[in-house]
Amino acid sequence: MDHVRRTLGPVGIWSMELRAAARPEVREAAAELDELGFPALWIPGLDGPGAVDDVEHLLVAAPHATIALGVLSMWGQDPAAVGSRWSALDAAYGPRAVLGLGVSNAHSAANAGQDYGKPTVSMRRFLDGLDAAPHPITAERRLLGALGPKMVDLASSRTSGWHPFLVTPEYSAAQRARVGDAPLIAPHLAVVLDRDPTRARAAARAGIGMFIGFPAYRANLGRLGFGAQDLIPGGSDRLIDALVAWGDLDDVADRIQAHLDAGADHVTVHVLRPDAGDGADLPRQQWRELATLLPRFTPHTD
């Protein structure tokens, strides 16, 4: 998995906005991120349709970057078709795309006409399909959206690693101690470049607060020591401060480094803005500011 570590580097950009990569202004922004030196660009899978098209747009726009899909719901996807599409991307642009997969929830499975079953069993079956496809996607080129120990163990044995959401550095430390050095741990980290606590926490709640109500995230946050007083709608101040890096650039750098020191290999930085409702949908100035931090972090080497 060292190749994946090198290509992702220590810090990448995770962006909902880049998921609209068919738009010329989004591709222009991706090209700038590439020029700024970000080694990896991450987009969410959302509901699935168009996600791989966006990966291709970004591969074209950012010719030096790894493009990671983090993560695509497995429901409604055909492993053979996914493998074929990934093979075509490799042939056209080189092996620069990483496939992240998630089990989402029972509602998503039902919408695809499938039985959710036991999450790890369902995901193992999908990975078996990728392995058996005419154009298989190798374990090194895929990862899972995982939180709990069972899915983490599956990610460790069948993929390059995993991409956890809504976690603290303590999570990375505990999991690294449990699974050893081999698997990649690439946590999502929301950031708000604002030193005002009220504005910063409001932006954080607007961006990630809804996820705190999802059962899988609540269960994991409970394992991390957060109680009912924290798992309120939008999250308590204590919870928001633990999950989101807000403040100035030094504050953000300290939190990124905390994740890396705890055992994470790569941190995906997701900009949330107090002004997100003003119609300015690409945080390009914040991305430029974050790019100045890149020399502070040391890539993993063999």
- The structural domains of the chain, with segments of one domain joined by +, span 2-295
Q: What pLDDT is attached to residue 275?
A: 79
User: Cβ(269)–Cβ(256) under 8 Å?
Assistant: yes
Q: What pLDDT is attached to residue 154?
A: 98
Provide the CA 239 distance to its chain's centre, in angstroms.
Answer: 20
202 vs 275: CA distance, rounded Å: 11
Asked if pLDDT for residue 278 goes beyond 70, the answer is no
**Poorest-confidence range of 2-16, 103-117, 155-169, 267-281?**
267-281
Per-residue pLDDT band for 280 (boundaries 50, 70, 90) equals low
Q: What is the mean pLDDT of residues 70-91?
A: 96
Tabulate helix, strand, coil % of the chain (nearest 5): 50, 15, 35
Per-residue pLDDT band for 164 (boundaries 50, 70, 90) equals very high
Burial 18-28 (b: 16+ CB within 10 A, else e): bbbbeeeebbe
Per-residue pLDDT band for 299 (boundaries 50, 70, 90) equals confident
What are the start-end ranges of the E strands in 135-252?
Answer: 142-144, 161-162, 184-185, 188-192, 244-246
126 vs 217: CA distance, rounded Å: 23
Asked if pLDDT for residue 120 goes beyond 90, the answer is yes
At 42, is the secondary structure helix, strand, or coil? strand
Q: What pLDDT is attached to residue 277?
A: 56
Asked if pLDDT for residue 302 goes beyond 60, the answer is no
Q: What pLDDT is attached to residue 182?
A: 93
At 244, is the secondary structure helix, strand, or coil? strand
In this predicted model, what pLDDT tens digit does every residue of 16-32 receive, in sequence order?
999 999 999 999 999 99
Per-residue pLDDT band for 69 (boundaries 50, 70, 90) equals very high
Asked if pLDDT for residue 15 goes beyond 60, the answer is yes
CATH superfamily of 2-295: Luciferase-like domain (3.20.20.30)
Average pLDDT, the chain: 94
Asked if pLDDT for residue 249 goes beyond 80, the answer is yes
